[in-house]
Amino acid sequence: MQNNCKNVYITTPIYYVNDVAHIGHAYTTIIADMLARYSRLTGHNTYFLTGTDEHGQKIAQSAEARGKTPKEYADEVSGKFKALWDDFGITYDKFIRTTDEEHKLGAQKAFEKMYAKGDIYKGEYEGFYCVSCETFFTEKQLIDEQFCPDCGKPTSIVKEESFFFKLSAYEDKLLKWYEENEDCILPRSKKNEIVNFVKNGLRDLSISRTSFEWGVKLPTSLNEPKHVMYVWLDALINYISALGYGSDEKNFNYWPASVHLVGKDILRFHAIYWPAFLMSLELPLPKHIAAHGWWTRDGEKMSKSKGNVVNPKEVADAYGLDAFRYFMLREVPFGQDGDFSQKALIDRINSDLGNDLGNLLNRISGMSGKYFDYKVDSKDVEKYHKKELDEVNAILENVEELIFNMQINRYLEEIWKVLTVANKAIGDYEPWTKMKEGKTDEAMALVALITNIMAKVAILLESVMPEKIALIATSLGIKINTELYNKVIVNKELLDTTTITKVDQLFPRIEEILLEQAPEVKKDKNEVEVKENEDLTEDNLITIDKFFETTIKVGTIVEAVEVPKSSKLLKLQVDLGEGRNRQVLAGIKEYYSAQELVGTQACVVANLKPAKLMGMLSEGMLLAAKDKDGLSLVRPEKPKISGTKIS
């Protein structure tokens, strides 16, 4: 997303109405809301879209199990999503539902146009289908010949008449787009995964179904009443139907999207299918597709069966919505997986928000009230504190680029550096000493410096914590808007004379956990953690049949990062040709750097039971050999297609 765009269009995924909103949904939506609020503050025409995805076989089955029609069930769950976002103060411009008539018109127009262009043809589909993921798979993509590689649930063999989209015809065009647009997929490590997937070859995509009826019907001009659109074609079209594509197109000037925010599990649909559909429709492609990671709880994967799913409303109600927003945006770099724990949240509230931010406002109120009857004048700030002003302005000079490159945690880190400058200045210059010495001008200049720094911080945090920042603005006697942003942030001007107003403590200290802890997860007795440097005590002879129970495949390492607090572990994302990457933890940090592994291949034990290491899931094991000269990974002599079996 470019900060010089006049029109800014921000989208979340439309959330599938098969469950209530969880922390992952909240994370995506809070990021999008932050981007939208910031874009409006900086003077851009901004359109923010969210909504719900309501068609497909899974919804029809869930509704039937509850004794409801699909529409009744979709109305109920969609209403809960909308109510939560309204309760959270999410500033969306439109909440779209794929059951909206205007969306159906847009999807039908898109289908008709792609068909007329020759990119859609009629055929027959036979293959494996996962109802849970609404996704088709080839046999080689499956786990143990029948299970979905994404969710692990059983697939079913589907054979039915279908319309196909010529996805294979767009392979070269997609690769060219990736090459020419460096930041079209963020973070860039995720882009490498997509490029590798496309380079392995694309198959034409089945885009209609006849085995169920709950979906958007094909255009009447095709005279195919038994077909409904494949849910992923239907769903992706929402990004343009929401702007009026196929109907009035009153807001279509916002296209192309500035950023599509998605979870990493649906990146392939957005970074391959969606741009190919847009190319077929001859529409501009989105500027950025940004994929974030998943959240665990206390180091454990969340699931209803474990009883450890985080309810975002319960957390916000207990700890405060703004504190929750700040934690989610600050705690983890965008694109990486994050871990939610109440202890970590409390630490952020007490340290970052209470001590650093809230306490600084208290000091402004205290000093201005004690020495100057709450009146603050900035006339001598540059005379006495040019050094501090220059330091603050230097920190903030390029901070906006971090937002628009999805480095929001670093954006917040830079703002906290500014707070450090302010708190340090109070200790360095001691206004109480200045007052005792009769240097009231210098004392006033210091209080005004701190007030101006707090004003800059408040402006830049308004999109992160709107409710608490509104209180800070009231205390400082300012109104945060585009005019003030341009004055204080862009032009680096100081505030005029202002009057400080005392407000209640922003972030009272929290001494104990406020919500019931998640139940402790008992490990399966067969779950074994990997032990490094484990020696075999004897050679156990096995039969050839026993040997072939082990599946070893060639894997391409598409991402590698160091595991914090571990001297040996690297966390790898490995492509085994399954349509998704596997996370593998390998104790090879002493012998390989993370950077040198990316793009290389290794031999991977692919059917090893997943294990937990330092609270993180490891879904395989790299083969390596170690002697007195060190450790070396076992690799194919020549590059092989990811997922090639070793025999």
Is the model's pLDDT at 629 over the cut of 70? no
Is the model's pLDDT at 437 over the cut of 90? yes
297: which strand partners? 300, 340
Cβ(365)–Cβ(502) below 8 Å: yes
Kindly state the average pLDDT of the residues 175-180.
98
Kindly compute the dihedral angle of the four CA atoms of residues 86, 89, 91, 95, in this order, to the nearest 10 degrees.
-10
Q: Is residue 45 part of a domain?
A: yes
Same domain for 401 and 484: yes
Kindly state the average pLDDT of the residues 618-646.
83
Q: Is residue 352 part of a domain?
A: yes
For residue 542, name the pLDDT band (cuts at 50, 70, 90): low
Same domain for 486 and 549: no
Same domain for 349 and 261: no
Same domain for 622 and 486: no
- d(C-alpha 49, C-alpha 237), whole Å: 13
Same domain for 572 and 437: no
Cβ(38)–Cβ(463) below 8 Å: yes
Distance of CA 561 to CAs 252, 496, 594, Å?
40, 48, 5
Cβ(239)–Cβ(14) below 8 Å: no
Same domain for 142 and 276: yes
Residue with tokens 């036979």: 126
Higher pLDDT, 532 or 80: 80
For residue 203, name the pLDDT band (cuts at 50, 70, 90): very high
pLDDT at 535: 40
Kindly state the average pLDDT of the residues 378-399.
96
Q: Report the binding-site residues.
A: 130, 133, 148, 151
Is the model's pLDDT at 202 over the cut of 80? yes
Domain that residue 28 falls in: 7-292
Coil vs helix vs strand at 221? helix
Last residue of a domain, one of 467, 499, 531: 499
Is the model's pLDDT at 305 over the cut of 90? no
- d(C-alpha 638, C-alpha 647), whole Å: 16
Is the model's pLDDT at 465 over the cut of 60? yes
- d(C-alpha 621, C-alpha 644), whole Å: 16
Poorest-pLDDT segment among 17-26, 109-118, 415-424, 522-531: 522-531
Q: Is residue 334 part of a domain?
A: no
pLDDT > 90: percent of the chain: 72
For residue 608, name the pLDDT band (cuts at 50, 70, 90): confident
Higher pLDDT, 2 or 61: 61
pLDDT at 563: 82
Q: What is the DSSP letter of 272?
A: I
- d(C-alpha 107, C-alpha 239), whole Å: 10
For residue 156, name the pLDDT band (cuts at 50, 70, 90): confident
Cβ(551)–Cβ(563) below 8 Å: no
Kindly compute the dihedral angle of the four CA atoms of residues 96, 99, 101, 106, in this order, to the nearest 10 degrees.
70
Which residues lie closer than 8 Å to 77 by C-beta, 6 or more apart? 17, 18, 19, 20, 52
Q: Is residue 248 part of a domain?
A: yes
What residue type is assigned to position 482 of the chain?
T
Poorest-pLDDT segment among 24-33, 158-167, 418-427: 158-167
Kindly compute the dihedral angle of the four CA atoms of residues 611, 617, 619, 622, in this order, to the nearest 10 degrees.
-90
Q: Which two tokens stand for residue 539?
A: 């050679």
Kindly state the average pLDDT of the residues 393-410.
94
Kindly state the average pLDDT of the residues 584-595.
84
- d(C-alpha 97, C-alpha 15), whole Å: 9
Same domain for 174 and 28: yes
Cβ(68)–Cβ(195) below 8 Å: no
For residue 534, name the pLDDT band (cuts at 50, 70, 90): very low
- d(C-alpha 157, C-alpha 155), whole Å: 7
- d(C-alpha 19, C-alpha 535), whole Å: 47
Query: How crowded is the C-beta side of 215, counted as CA atoms within 13 Å?
Result: 28
Is the model's pLDDT at 303 over the cut of 70? yes
Q: Is residue 320 part of a domain?
A: no
Last residue of a domain, one of 499, 522, 553: 499
Same domain for 599 and 490: no
144: left (phi over 0), alpha (psi -120 to 50) or beta: left
pLDDT at 295: 95
- d(C-alpha 136, C-alpha 312), whole Å: 32
- Give the largest CA-CA distance in the chain: 92
User: pLDDT digit string (tens) for 10-58?
Assistant: 999 999 998 789 999 999 999 999 999 999 999 999 999 999 999 998 8
Q: Which CATH number goes with the domain that contains 51?
A: 3.40.50.620
Q: Which CATH number goes with the domain that contains 471?
A: 1.10.730.10
Q: Which two tokens stand for residue 187?
A: 């973070």
DSSP string, 564-592: TT-SS-EEEEEE-SSSSEEEEEES-TTT-
pLDDT at 609: 81
Last residue of a domain, one of 228, 259, 292: 292
Q: Supply the pTM of this predicted model.
A: 0.79
Q: Exposed e or buried b for every residue in 148-171, given b needs 16+ CB within 10 A?
A: bbbeeeebeebeeebbbbbbeebb
For residue 536, name the pLDDT band (cuts at 50, 70, 90): very low
Same domain for 494 and 572: no
Q: Exposed e or buried b for every residue in 68-104, given b needs 16+ CB within 10 A?
A: eebeebbbebbeebbebbeebebbbeebbbbbbebbb
Average pLDDT, the chain: 90
Q: Is residue 594 part of a domain?
A: yes
- d(C-alpha 443, C-alpha 474), whole Å: 23
Same domain for 282 and 200: yes
Same domain for 52 and 154: yes
pLDDT at 522: 57
Kindly state the average pLDDT of the residues 356-382.
97
Query: How crowded is the C-beta side of 455, counted as CA atoms within 13 Å?
Result: 31
Q: Report the 10 Å Cβ neighbour count for 409.
A: 17
Gyration radius of the chain over CA positions: 28
Helical pair 57-65 and 70-87, crossing angle rounded to 10 deg: 100
End-to-end CA separation in angstroms for the chain? 47
User: pLDDT digit string (tens) for 494-533?
Assistant: 999 999 999 999 999 999 999 998 776 555 444 444 434 4
250-254, 275-279, 542-546: which is most confident: 275-279
Q: Report the binding-site residues for Zn(2+).
A: 130, 133, 148, 151
- d(C-alpha 222, C-alpha 111), whole Å: 10
Coil vs helix vs strand at 359? helix
Total of domains in the chain:
3
Q: Which CATH number goes with the domain that contains 587?
A: 2.40.50.140
DSSP strand pairing (259-263 vs 289-292)? parallel
Bond from prior residue into 256 cis (ω within 30 degrees of 0)? yes
Q: Is residue 219 part of a domain?
A: yes
Sheet of 295-297, strand order: 300-301, 295-297, 338-340
Distance of CA 218 to CAs 15, 165, 229, 261, 326, Å?
23, 14, 7, 28, 44
Same domain for 618 and 488: no
DSSP strand pairing (581-586 vs 616-618)? unpaired
pLDDT at 3: 46
Q: Is residue 2 part of a domain?
A: no
- d(C-alpha 623, C-alpha 629), whole Å: 17
